[in-house]
Structure 1
Amino acid sequence: MATTTKIWRESGFVDGDPWVIETDEVKAGEDQKVLLPLAALIEKAEESNDVGLGVVLYPADDVAKLEPYLYRLEIVAVTFPAFSDGRAFSQASLLRDRLAYRNELRAVGDVLIDQVPLMLRVGIDTVSVTNATAIKRLSEGRLPGISEHYQPAVKAADAGQGYSWRRRALTAEQA
């Protein structure tokens, strides 16, 4: 049974996404681009001057190794191998905050609906969704969320009343 995968961003589902993570069963077609593992990306970048590349980071990968190549990347995918493994949240935050990566940042793997608002807060732009419940809820526009947060993040929290001791992420106008 084939798994349905959909790419979602805050504006809705994306049609015709060209990026593929190759496996033994899945190979990139003629109009598709490959998300390379970190070691393969570094090797390709060292051998060529190509731009518009894509990389998939796995939980144990060191994000700092991407720094010399960020300007050549069109997309970085961070992997959530299990719902209980949150290392990709840290990778996304490091890419956005410390390395100032501004192109597409995608979550792939075991993505559940409850994680999506947190992914958006750390700067993830697109989500590769295979979970049927998540696909249904996202298509209905039913995104869970909490308006108050303890930590500032890439994406600002909704404005509103809060406790004076809580920190909120500031919008560009507030900063």
Structure 2
Amino acid sequence: MTKIYANGAFTEEAWVRLEADAELPTQPAADGVKLMVPLSRFLADPERLVALGDGAAVLVAAGEDVQLLEPHLARLPRVLVEFPKFTDGRGFSAARILREQLGYAGDIRAIGDFILDQIPLMRRCGVSSFEIVKPQVEASLRAGEWPEVTHYLQPVGSVAEIPAGTRPWARRPSDLHKVDQAAE
């Protein structure tokens, strides 16, 4: 079982990663197991995966072009974005493209090797759920730890932000501004 963190709570789900050359099933698994289908395999036969509904999701590896999913996004309940190493930021770009440029409204799930400090930044880029594989990340989230990031050096279009200082690229959350005004 895989631990999933979303909306402040943990759930468990059973996922199987399908290989790129494997045959897609014709119907969802009866035991509730869901499929991670690589982008290339999905694009070879998108209708079969879409027919599985919530029983399957497209897995976008680091560096793959998420724009190839555009014609199918309205029918996909979930896209999995892989973070192969915590130092690899290509997943952030994929999530932003899905949310901001393609208008994807479904669940974007981060999977792979990421650390607690990255989760607020992933949320800011449009990620809505997380596959938790590191015990220390799970323990921190269960303890209510949430690293606060108060200033950003890159604006995003998916959250409300305001300029922070005189540099046009420096941003901070707009609700932080309300807190600052209330304290004055």
Tell me the TM-score normalized by structure 2: 0.76
Where does residue 33 of structure 2 map in the other structure? 32
Q: Partner letter of residue 43 of structure 1?
A: A
The structure whose Rg is larger is 2
Please provide the CA RMSD for this pair.
Answer: 2.6
Kindly indicate whether residue 23 of structure 2 is the aligned counterpart of residue 14 of structure 1.
no
Q: Which has the higher helix share?
A: 2
Q: Deviations over 1:122-173 (max 9, x none)?
A: 010001011111000000110112122232222335x8x94243344668xx
State the AA in 1 paired with 2:8.
Answer: S
Q: What percentage of residue pairs aligned between the two structures are identical?
A: 34
1:25-174 correspondence runs (5 A): 30-46=31-47, 50=51, 52=53, 53-153=56-156, 154-156=158-160, 162-165=164-167, 166-168=170-172
1:54-108 Cα shifts (integer Å, max 9, x gaps):
1000013111111111112110000011111110000000000100001000000
Paired with 2:106 and 2:69, the residues of 1 have a C-alpha distance of: 13
Shift of 1:12: 1.5
Q: Contact between 1:105 and 1:124, CA under 8 Å: does it hold in 2?
A: yes
CA 70–114 in structure 1, closer or farther in 2 if over 3 Å, else same: same
For 1:99 and 1:131, locate their aligned partners in 2 and report how far apart those are by CA, in whole Å.
31
Q: Given the two structures, how large is their TM-score scaled by the length of structure 1?
A: 0.79
Contact 2:151–2:172, Cα closer than 8 Å, also in 1: yes
- Distance in 1, matches of 2:139 and 2:11, equals 15
Q: Which runs of 5+ in 2 are unaligned?
A: 20-28, 176-184
